[in-house]
Amino acid sequence: MSDSPIVIVGALADPHARAIYEGVRARGCEPVVLDAQRFPEDLPIALGEAPDAVVIEGRRVGRPASVYVRSLYQSPAAYGVDADEAMKEDWRRTTLAFRERSTLLSAILLRWEALGSATYNPTSLSHNITKPFQLTLLQAAGLPVPATLWSNDPAAVRAFCSEHEAVYKPVAGGAATRKVEAKDLTDERLGKLQAAPVCFQELLPGDDVRVYVIDGRVVCALRIVTDAIDFRQHEQRIEAIALDDQVARECVRAAEVIGLRYTGMDIKADRHGRYKILELNPSAMFLGFEQRAGVDIRGPLCDALVAHRSA
Ligand code: ADP
Ligand code: MG
Ligand code: MG
């Protein structure tokens, strides 16, 4: 085995980062933790100009064998970040400080990628994750995606919604998916698009399925049984299912097209029962799904991280 460490990027107070930390330790490796929540208040980091000159808490990390990226907690609005007080006091300074911090931390992850560390998942792919780009990459690769419009243009939205029974949801996230009703297409309501663009999408009325792919293999597929359009907080039951070979191949191909070693992707069936890809999440949560469906996702993920030690 090499001395190259396995690095966990995330706070141990974050249950997902902790689960991977414990899983890697249970496999006999002591991971290095880059706890981005402790930086810069409480975590000393020093970077030099050489790619591998990264010293965290006095330890020169060198070239990690593999890296699990839970989160860099990069924005004041990110999960696990509490910047309310600082933002109230001075939002300009706080925003700038977040940028300084996230610029340095991202550079560390980019260096490790450049040094050849197997990264779950690469920061350099953040553009591919952006949904209006992600779906177009999938579409261009010949994969099934729903008809979609991202827009602030009332005329374009009306035209789209006259062609499709549609839902609307945020471009980047932060709100639930809702069905487009006639009242959503009034001048007053569409005038709100001046504040922010919105994603309009063909309504997929069929099964909601979450598929986990690790290193080119479907680890499990879970069907979420619910009556709500947006399944979150409305799950009635989650059950492991077997995917058709063709759907499984499409999921593996999608992860490859976007460039993800690990993903939890959401697919949903149209009215003909044909699955279309809604999104691939780069840092997909897995604990709730494991618990409710009785599947193992962290095991294969930890195995994958540890396997690079002997590579
Ligand atoms: P997020 O990143 O917020 O999870 P998704 O695109 O996965 O965004 O949408 C969240 C959920 O909303 C989906 O899992 C699904 O239940 C529902 N949803 C999203 N798009 C559609 C759609 N086109 N038709 C029906 N339901 C949808
Ligand atoms: Mg989703
Ligand atoms: Mg998502």
Helix (H, G, I), strand (E, B) or coil at 123: helix
Architecture of the domain whose range is 208-304: 2-Layer Sandwich (3.30)
Residue 1: the pLDDT is 43
249: CB partners within 8 A, 6+ apart:
none
Q: Among all ligands shown, which has an atom nearest to the Cα of 281?
A: 3
DSSP state letters, 233-301: T--SEEEEEPPPHHHHHHHHHHHHHHT-SEEEEEEEE-TTS-EEEEEEETT---HHHHHHHT--SHHHH
> Whose CA is closest to atom 6 on ligand 1?
278
Q: Encoding tokens for residue 300? A: 């294969």
Residue 122: the pLDDT is 94
15: CB partners within 8 A, 6+ apart:
287
What was the ipTM of the complex prediction? 0.99
Q: Among all ligands shown, which has an atom nearest to the Cα of 231?
A: 1
Ligand 1 centroid distance, CA of 138 (Å): 16
Ligand 3 centroid distance, CA of 53 (Å): 34
Q: Encoding tokens for residue 242? A: 């077997």
CATH 3.30.1490.20 fits 147-202, yes or no: yes
Q: Which residues line ion ligand 2, judged by CB < 5 Å?
A: 266
Q: Which residues in the chain are classed under CATH 3.40.50?
A: 6-120
Q: Mean pLDDT for each 10-residue chunk of the chain (311 residues)?
A: 84 96 97 94 96 94 96 81 85 89 95 97 92 98 98 98 98 94 97 97 96 98 82 76 97 98 98 96 96 96 95 61
Q: What share of the chain is helix, strand, coil (3-state, %, to 5)?
A: 35, 25, 40
234: CB partners within 8 A, 6+ apart:
226, 227, 228
Residue 86: the pLDDT is 85
Ligand 1 centroid distance, CA of 9 (Å): 27
CATH of the domain spanning 6-120: 3.40.50
Residue 232: the pLDDT is 64
Ligand 1 centroid distance, CA of 167 (Å): 9
Within 6 A (CB) of ligand 1 lie 146, 167, 169, 173, 177, 201-204, 208, 229-231, 266, 268, 278-279
Residue 233: the pLDDT is 64
Q: Which residues in the chain are classed under CATH 3.30.470.20?
A: 208-304
Nearest CA-CA partner of 68 in 257, 310, 303, 311: 303
Q: Which residues in the chain are classed under CATH 3.30.1490.20?
A: 147-202
